[in-house]
Amino acid sequence: MSGTFWETQLQEDEESREGQPRKPLWAWAVTALDLLVVAAAAPVVILVAVPFFAVFYVYLAQILVWASPVLLGANAVLFVWAFRRKYAGMTGLAILSVLFVLLSVLLVILWGAPFTVFGMTF
């Protein structure tokens, strides 16, 4: 393969990047929030065999359930936006965050803890 082939391909990639719009600030904010959720929940799920971590995860699940309408809405918008623009990382992170919220709702229901969303107990 000649060097010309790779140079041309490289130039096409640079041109296609220049034409793409920048990611909006709200998408970065939701992505940062999702990364915090995943960073907090993933290690606890792995270490749930230790009783202290199980109690911590129930507390974290109550916090996620409390903010679940905002998290689900923001991730739904992020998923649609990122899926249309073929941003695989943001799409996958939105799906993962929604799954963590749904897992938290299930855990709170099974634990028997009060189901509180924005201060309203159900």
Count the domains in the chain.
1
Q: Whole-number mean pLDDT of the chain?
A: 85
User: Does residue 63 lie in a domain region?
Assistant: yes
The pLDDT tens digits for 48-69 are: 677 777 788 889 999 999 999 9
Q: Which of 117, 119, 103, 96 is nearest to 36 (CA)?
A: 96
Between residues 117 and 3, which one has the greater pLDDT?
A: 117
User: Does residue 9 lie in a domain region?
Assistant: no
User: Does residue 78 lie in a domain region?
Assistant: yes
User: Does residue 70 lie in a domain region?
Assistant: yes
pTM listed for this prediction: 0.77
Q: Which of 48, 69, 70 is nearest to 57 (CA)?
A: 48
User: Does residue 30 lie in a domain region?
Assistant: yes
User: Does residue 3 lie in a domain region?
Assistant: no
The pLDDT tens digits for 79-98 are: 999 999 999 999 999 999 99
Range(s) of the domain holding residue 65: 25-121
User: Does residue 51 lie in a domain region?
Assistant: yes
